[in-house]
């Protein structure tokens, strides 16, 4: 065990951890701060695509936020991320069409970095923190957190303990199980009852021209369905691998790259589980495994033309002349109807039909629907105060703890923790 005690230890160098570190280093430069990450570079959306949304409630978990609190902190997020906000056009036209169908199109301030340029942004942020005296321990996995009579601190790789006066645990979505274990062991009550399940849609920019006017249009449909993470320019659908199954996701390179004229976006339905089914994670894993089972170890893809006719897609239908483009993520051609629960499919299909009225073309027969895209939103701890404190000296924030759902919300959550630490709470 190291005898040194840090003022603050931050587990996770994603936006929640960075938000806390920048705020602490700026407002109390004498604090000794250690940031720990199991990766060489933070592994969440900051690294991947880095779309930033600067309008509440995008990226925030509304049960933990108010409009006023988000509005107070978003300018502080912007100060460090220095986004170039994208212009929008013809918003009123789409909004009018949407309203007639009971759909809302949110007007969101957005910026996009792109997968090819996000490393530079992260490096700039880490360099700035290093210059301000923050220390880093990278490629080291935290396996436990303690806050008891023996002291407060974290355990690295099951062996080495590092002590800190305060600890922020911000391990993101992939740290879901780790966080759950820590909460179980520390006796922190939590709930895990929300999950987003949906599809990723891929089509050509001609079939979804709204992306020329609005980079990542945020539509809210009835039945808890929404568009999420729209990519265009140089856009690809990608696989996210978990233990025993894969999910789909999407990303795009920066505007500087030559385009491939494809667009992809997710249509997600939020499901709030009630007794006796209470674990969003368990349900998500079950649905993902079922889809991968049907897909022979892969997610599924189906052309809209086939889906409409009630028949599965096959390798042949993927190559017919009617179909305009090849999938950017060739998974198993099949039948989504076999894998997606009926109610979810019905609500998503209804949303897609409305979307096709607002942006005519998106339901072209060649459009591809990939499944599953699932967002597991955290085991939400029972917080002791508004600074996301879970025990005397330990805080949990970011996507893993359910305080955010995006980069800016996670960063703002980190600031709230830092404010708590600075105020001695
Ligand atoms: C592929 C992908 C693309 C995304 N794109 C976007 C986007 O464009 N825009 C957007 O707003 N959101 C995006 N998101 C969501 C976004 O990543 C999250 O909302 C945000 O990163 C959450 O921040 P965080 O700090 O809570 O967690 P993360 O950013 O996930 O950071 C957590 C960090 O903790 C580390 N960690 C986890 N467990 C441990 C451990 N036991 N020990 C040590 N370190 C650990 C991880 O390596 C990671 O670096 C994307 C997510 C993914 C997966």
**CA–CA distance from 12 to each of 168, 243, 244, 396 (Å)?**
9, 21, 25, 11
Strand, helix or coil at 281?
Answer: helix
**CA–CA distance from 156 to each of 31, 304, 346 (Å)?**
22, 49, 46
Segment 391-405, tens digit of pLDDT: 999 999 999 999 998
Q: Is the CB of 16 under 6 A from ligand 1?
A: yes
Name the residue of 13, 14, 110 whose CB sits within 8 Å of the most ligand 1 atoms, as the mutation to test its pocket: 14
Rounded to an integer, what distance in angstroms lies between the CA atom of residue 371 and that of residue 404? 24
Rounded to an integer, what distance in angstroms lies between the CA atom of residue 318 and that of residue 297? 19
pTM for this entry: 0.88
Q: Span 23-44, mean pLDDT?
A: 93
Q: How many CB atoms lie within 10 A of CB 100?
A: 11
Strand, helix or coil at 178?
Answer: helix
Rounded to an integer, what distance in angstroms lies between the CA atom of residue 210 and that of residue 357? 12
Distance 294 CA to ligand 1 centre (A): 29
Segment 264-309, tens digit of pLDDT: 999 999 998 888 777 888 899 999 999 999 999 999 999 999 999 9
Rounded to an integer, what distance in angstroms lies between the CA atom of residue 329 and that of residue 331? 6
Q: Span 180-191, mean pLDDT?
A: 92
Q: Span 310-322, mean pLDDT?
A: 86
pLDDT at residue 185 in the model = 94
Among 224, 196, 189, which residue's Cα sits nearest to residue 401?
A: 189
The answer to whether 378 and 192 are in contact (CB under 8 A) is yes
Q: Is the CB of 354 under 6 A from ligand 1?
A: no
Q: Quick check: 425 pLDDT over 70?
A: no
Segment 101-145, tens digit of pLDDT: 999 999 999 998 888 888 999 999 999 999 999 999 999 999 999
Strand, helix or coil at 29?
Answer: coil
Q: What are phi and psi of 104, to 5 degrees?
A: -110, 135
Distance 102 CA to ligand 1 centre (A): 33
The ligand 1 atom at the shortest distance from the C-alpha of residue 140 is 43
pLDDT at residue 256 in the model = 65
The answer to whether 185 and 212 are in contact (CB under 8 A) is no
The ligand 1 atom at the shortest distance from the C-alpha of residue 18 is 25
Name the residue of 16, 37, 40, 44 whose CB sits within 8 Å of the most ligand 1 atoms, as the mutation to test its pocket: 44
Distance 405 CA to ligand 1 centre (A): 10
Distance 409 CA to ligand 1 centre (A): 12
Distance 281 CA to ligand 1 centre (A): 17
Q: How confident is the model at residue 2 (pLDDT cuts 50, 70, 90)?
A: low
Distance 363 CA to ligand 1 centre (A): 32
Region of 310 (left: φ > 0; alpha: ψ -120 to 50; beta: rest) is left
- The DSSP string of 56-89 is TTTTB-GGG--HHHHHHHHHHHHHHH---PPP--
Q: What are phi and psi of 350, to 5 degrees?
A: -60, -45
pLDDT at residue 3 in the model = 65
Among 415, 377, 363, 424, which residue's Cα sits nearest to residue 197?
A: 377
Q: Which residues pair with 248 in a beta bridge?
A: 239
- Least confident range from 58-67, 157-166, 316-325, 387-396: namely 316-325
Q: Is the CB of 24 under 6 A from ligand 1?
A: no
**CA–CA distance from 132 to each of 16, 27, 45, 73 (Å)?**
18, 11, 24, 21
The answer to whether 357 and 187 are in contact (CB under 8 A) is no
Q: How confident is the model at residue 31 (pLDDT cuts 50, 70, 90)?
A: very high
Rounded to an integer, what distance in angstroms lies between the CA atom of residue 310 and that of residue 325? 21
The percentage of the chain sitting over the pLDDT mark of 70, rounded to a whole number, equals 98
Position of tokens 């609190």? 69
Distance 401 CA to ligand 1 centre (A): 12
Name the residue of 45, 126, 215 whose CB sits within 8 Å of the most ligand 1 atoms, as the mutation to test its pocket: 45
Which domains, and CATH codes, for the chain? 5-87+114-191+379-424 (3.50.50.60), 194-375 (no CATH)
């Amino acid at each position: 065990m190291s005898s040194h005690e840090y003022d603050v230890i931050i587990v996770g160098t994603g936006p929640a951890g960075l938000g806390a570190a920048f705020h602490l280093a700026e407002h109390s430069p004498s604090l000794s701060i250690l940031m720990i990450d199991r990766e060489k570079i933070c592994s969440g959306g900051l690294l991947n695509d880095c779309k930033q949304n600067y309008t509440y409630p995008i990226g925030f978990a509304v049960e933990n936020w108010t409009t006023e609190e988000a509005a107070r902190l978003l300018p502080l997020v912007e100060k460090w991320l220095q986004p170039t906000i994208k212009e929008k056009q013809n918003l009123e036209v789409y909004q009018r069409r949407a309203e007639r169908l009971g759909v809302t199109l949110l007007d969101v301030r957005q910026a996009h970095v792109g997968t090819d340029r996000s490393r530079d942004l992260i490096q700039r942020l880490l360099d700035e923190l290093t210059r301000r005296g923050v220390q880093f321990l990278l490629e080291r996995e935290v396996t436990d957190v303690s806050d008891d009579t023996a002291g407060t601190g974290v355990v690295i790789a099951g062996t080495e303990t590092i002590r800190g006066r305060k600890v922020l645990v911000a391990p993101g979505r992939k740290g879901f199980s780790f966080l759950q274990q820590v909460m179980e062991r520390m006796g922190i009550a939590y709930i895990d009852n929300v999950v987003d399940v949906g599809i990723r849609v891929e089509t050509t920019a001609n079939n979804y021209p709204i992306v020329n006017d609005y980079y990542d249009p945020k539509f809210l449909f009835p039945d808890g369905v929404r568009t999420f993470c729209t990519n265009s320019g140089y856009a690809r659908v990608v696989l996210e691998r978990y233990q025993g199954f894969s999910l789909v996701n999407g990303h795009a390179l920066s505007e500087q790259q030559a385009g491939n004229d494809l667009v992809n976006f997710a249509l997600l339905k939020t499901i709030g589980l009630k007794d006796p089914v209470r674990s969003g994670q368990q349900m998500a894993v079950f649905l993902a495994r079922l889809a991968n089972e049907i897909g022979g170890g892969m997610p599924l893809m189906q052309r809209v033309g086939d889906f409409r006719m009630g028949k599965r897609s096959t390798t042949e239908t993927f190559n017919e002349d009617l179909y305009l483009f090849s999938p950017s993520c060739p998974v198993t051609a099949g039948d989504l109807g076999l894998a997606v629960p009926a109610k979810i499919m019905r609500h998503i299909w209804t949303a897609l039909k409305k979307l096709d009225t607002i942006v005519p073309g998106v339901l072209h027969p060649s459009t591809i629907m990939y499944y599953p895209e699932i967002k597991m939103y955290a085991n939400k701890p029972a917080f002791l105060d508004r600074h996301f404190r879970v025990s005397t000296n330990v805080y949990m924030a970011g996507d893993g703890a359910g305080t955010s759902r995006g980069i800016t919300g996670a960063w703002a959550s980190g600031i709230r923790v830092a404010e708590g630490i600075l105020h001695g709470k």
